Amino acid sequence: MRLKAFRSDRGGKFNSLEFEAYCSEHGIKHFTTTAYSPQQNGVVEHQNCTVVEMARCLLKSKGVPAEFWGEAVKMVVYILNREPTRSLLGRTPYEAWHNRKPKVSHMRTFGCVAHVKRVGPGVDKLADRSTPMVFLGYEAGTKGYRVYDPVAKKLQVSRDVVFEEHRSWNWEEPRRSSKPPVTFNVEFFTGTKSGTMQGGEQARGTPMVEHATPPTDGDHDSEGVPQRYRTMRNLLDTTEEIIEYEYSGMCLLAAEEPTSVEEALGDEAWRLAMESELKSIRDNKTWEFATLPAGHKAIVLDWNELIDFPTLEGG
């Protein structure tokens, strides 16, 4: 099939000496319109309008930014070349040029989410097998899809793609880069004022959590409320060591140590503990009276009231 005639406007790209020489060499007649007279080239101008209208529809249907208008125009031309037309008696432009019907089974929705297979030495065993991108069309001269990565801001060609044609890319969503772990404010309580567990309560299990809600910009920590900050991953961990650790934390939050002997004697539990300790010292005869040598001073002894917490190993 040989091109016999070519009609265009008077744009500089069509009036160059190189283009005129090309038309003369191949026997192509070049016709031009007068200035500001698009109606003299109505067929082409109408087709240009059709392409632009369809490109705008493709962009709007999936919310693709206008900066990709060039990709949309290429996609429209690709589609129109595979649509039957009356001027070709029901055949497609592709069929008229190549003398065979076009294949359309590979065609997908412009602007949909496309999961592109990750390949190369940089992909480890536990990494994602694909990367979500945006489908923008077909690569000429190869059996590949043109896909755009909004995060890396990179256009690439790939044949290993899985499409989600019903989904559109959220162009407002944050980047896929690593994010800090979500932090929760967790308040532990034991259900009793003294901080000890009731006799019928279960000794093992996950500590009771009053609430665990993600913080917002308007959240403020309540004064006087003991808090523990943990990630959700650790919060859901129910191993034996973590359970012991949580109960120890509950005891630390609930129990209080006296600041003086007088304060300890005012609490029956502490007074009984002190009497038990003194009885143990007397029974084991761990002391005896002695005369203070001349020139020496006696060492002052302090009584410290401390809570002896067991270790995680039960020591």
Q: How far is CA 267 from CA 106, 190, 252, 262, 280, in A?
A: 82, 21, 19, 9, 20
> Is the model's pLDDT at 182 over the cut of 70?
no
pLDDT at 86: 92
Task: Note the pLDDT tens digit of each residue in 29-51.
Answer: 999 998 888 888 888 888 999 99
Domain 112-168 sits in CATH at 2.30.30
From 3.20.20.150, 3.30.420.10, 3.40.50.2300, 3.40.50.720, which CATH number describes the 5-98 domain? Answer: 3.30.420.10
Contact status, residue 250 vs residue 207, Cβ threshold 8 Å: yes
Helix (H) or strand (E) holding 148: strand 145-149
pLDDT at 177: 45
Contact status, residue 134 vs residue 114, Cβ threshold 8 Å: yes
pLDDT at 58: 97
Confidence label for 256 from pLDDT (cuts 50, 70 and 90): low
Cβ neighbours of residue 44 under 8 Å, at least 6 residues apart? 7, 8
pLDDT at 193: 46
Domain ranges of the chain: 5-98, 112-168, 183-254, 259-315
pLDDT at 307: 59
- For residues 215-242, average pLDDT: 50
Q: Do domains 5-98 and 112-168 have the same CATH topology?
A: no
